Amino acid sequence: MEELEAQSTALTVVTSSDQDCATPSLSPPDSKTLRTINDLPVEILIQIFEHSVLFTCKHDDHRLAYWDEVDRMTRQRWMVPRNVYTRRDESADPRSPSLFPDALAAVCCLWRDALTLVSLFWTRIVVFVDDDPTPLSRLRTRLELSHEHPLDIIITRHLCSVTDSDPLEKRRVTDAMQVLYQHIARWRSLRINVLHTVSIPAPNIQMQGRAASLINLRLQSHIQMQGRAASPINLRLQSQMARKRFRPAGIAKLCFHAPGLTDLEIDGLTFRRSFLSIPQSIASVKRLVISRYSPGTQSRMLFTVRALAECLSALPHVDEVSLIDLDISSSVGAALPQPLAFTASFFHLEGLSSEVLQALFDLLDSDLNFLHLIRCAVPDSIDLGWASELHLQNLDTTESIAPLLLNWDSEVLYFHACPSFNSALLDEMAEEAEDGAWLCSTLEELSIYDCRRFNSGDIRRMVQARRMSHAEIGFADNAHPAFVVTSVLYLKVQNGPELAPKDREWFDCNVQSVWWNGWQGGHQEEW
């Protein structure tokens, strides 16, 4: 061991043509000769590569062994470590020239040959489908190198490729998918990020088969293209049949099976075509993101808020749902006898109309923990009382949002770039209403980001008034018969107005934790 360490300290990488494909030495070289990394035994070189893989993986809390998937013979031969974690870091740019293992394989043929001895190194498949596409022969070679291990597949475009139109993109995607379908049982994750929505193979329509290992499916595009506009009669017929769970000609049927799918990100058009009328095909999903649907006036009726609510209600395991920029119909049809059960605890709503929001809240019944409203036109009458943590960001209103907050009463409230968070709202939060009720009476944690239509004195007066009222019952919780309002315990202001010295002094003594534009204080500073 000491001899190996002594040799390693003197190693130098040499990339000349003479050294690139040299056979690694299996005995210690003469101490007077120049030694390079290529003088190492293959076993040592592979161990170095194994540790390099750590930089491409996320550390899972459960710390499952990444190398459990390595075949027994390879593990015994190369003494593969068993403490490497399973999940690849999905934030890594698949277009990066430093991606593992390609960056190392490009150094020299010796390194590439060593890398090919470990099939698990080759389970990330990146396919480019722009005007510089990945050759299908290279794709087939990569699939062969990965042997029978689960695959993480990415179909994308180069960063510098054409961004306005690519009429050949769909054909390139189709050709690549024909090769990949032969290995559908090995798909662990499939991410398609292309220019045109029509280039995406829609599950249950073009994408068919049993993906038994698939956990993560992301289908994203940048340009939504529609076919010929349907007649109003056909639109009404298809909408009615979708609500009745019937399948008219040309609509998806259950042909794509992914029983282990837990994470689905998909554009609105593909979701409507693939899953809206057959939610049982994604019954295992826990996290669902649907984004971008702008079909035009006629086709909007094909995607109604009623159909969406019924689909969400049919997902028994879904815990996190994000709906982003969906221009869908607010039609709810006949009244329901009772709201639809909704299991999610996290609901992210962004870029939705007030009519769609109103309908969603009327149709769904849920015990939410987190509700995010971003860039939405929020109606005053929706009941937010079932969200224990409320985030309001870039709301499409300059009017008071006090009526909205009258229908919410919980502990944690966030404002982000909301012009309606101002001195007037703080005044309303600083006093009881005519009926004796306080706005946000159980609020304990208030965070304010990128809002400047108030001053630190406005915040202090609000916090002080609520604290004084709470003190009258000895700071008891809301189970006390005389409870009317609780104290604000945690306060955070970022990129807000300046904090006046007298207000800072008061916060430091009377609030548990305060963070204001970088200053931190409070009598219990832990946030």
pLDDT values of the chain reduced to their tens digit, one per residue, 527 residues: 344 333 333 334 444 344 445 444 444 555 567 777 777 777 777 777 777 776 666 544 333 344 344 434 344 433 344 333 345 556 666 666 667 777 777 778 877 777 787 788 888 999 999 999 999 999 999 999 999 999 999 999 988 777 788 999 999 999 999 999 999 999 999 999 999 999 999 999 999 999 999 999 999 998 876 544 444 444 444 444 444 443 444 445 678 999 999 999 999 999 999 999 999 999 999 999 999 998 764 566 689 999 999 999 999 999 999 999 999 999 888 888 888 999 999 999 999 999 999 999 999 988 889 999 999 988 877 888 778 999 999 987 777 888 889 888 899 999 999 999 999 999 999 998 878 889 999 999 999 999 999 999 999 999 999 999 999 999 998 889 999 999 999 999 999 999 999 999 999 999 999 999 999 999 875 54
Q: Which two tokens stand for residue 335?
A: 């009244």
Note the pLDDT of residue 32: 60
Burial of 515 (0-12, 13-18, 19+ CB in 10 A): middle
Domain assignment present for residue 409? The answer is yes
Which residue among 48, 70, 90 closes a domain? 90
- SS3 track for 404-441: HHCCCCCCEEEEECCCCCEHHHHHHHCCCCCCCCCCCC
Residues 110 and 148 sit within 8 Å (Cβ to Cβ): no
Note the pLDDT of residue 109: 80
Provide the 10 A C-beta neighbour count for residue 475.
Answer: 11
Residues contacting 448, CB < 8 A, separation 6+: 414, 415, 421, 492, 493, 494, 496
* 3-class secondary structure, 485: coil
Alpha-carbon Rg for the chain in angstroms: 29
Q: Assign residue 434 a region (left: φ > 0; alpha: ψ between -120 and 50; beta: otherwise).
A: alpha
Residue 414 — φ and ψ, nearest 5°? -120, 135
Residues 329 and 301 sit within 8 Å (Cβ to Cβ): yes
* 239 alpha carbon, distance to own chain's centre: 30
Residues 526 and 513 sit within 8 Å (Cβ to Cβ): yes
Which residue among 67, 90, 113 closes a domain? 90
Domain assignment present for residue 141? The answer is no
CA dist list (Å): 458 to 80, 390, 455, 465, 509: 62, 21, 5, 11, 17
Q: Which two tokens stand for residue 116?
A: 């090919």
Q: In 3D, which of 316, 359, 320, 369 has the Cα closest to residue 341?
A: 316
Report the alpha-carbon distance of residue 254 to residue 481 in Å, rounded.
Answer: 55
* 3-class secondary structure, 335: coil
Q: Which domain holds residue 64?
A: 1-90
Report the alpha-carbon distance of residue 379 to residue 326 in Å, rounded.
Answer: 17
Report the alpha-carbon distance of residue 235 to residue 253 in Å, rounded.
Answer: 18
Residues contacting 437, CB < 8 A, separation 6+: 484
* Number of domains present in the structure of the chain: 2
Give residue 84's identity as a one-letter amino acid code.
V
Residues contacting 20, CB < 8 A, separation 6+: 107, 108, 109, 110
Domain assignment present for residue 459? The answer is yes
Note the pLDDT of residue 60: 45
Domain assignment present for residue 110? The answer is no
Note the pLDDT of residue 56: 61
Residues 281 and 204 sit within 8 Å (Cβ to Cβ): yes
Domain assignment present for residue 120? The answer is no
Task: For residue 326, list its beta bridge partners.
Answer: 293
Domain assignment present for residue 507? The answer is yes
Q: In 3D, which of 25, 49, 47 has the Cα closest to residue 36?
A: 25
Residues contacting 160, CB < 8 A, separation 6+: none
Domain assignment present for residue 9? The answer is yes
Report the alpha-carbon distance of residue 413 to residue 486 in Å, rounded.
Answer: 14
Which residue among 49, 71, 90 closes a domain? 90
Domain assignment present for residue 361? The answer is no
Note the pLDDT of residue 96: 66
Residue 388 — φ and ψ, nearest 5°? -75, -20
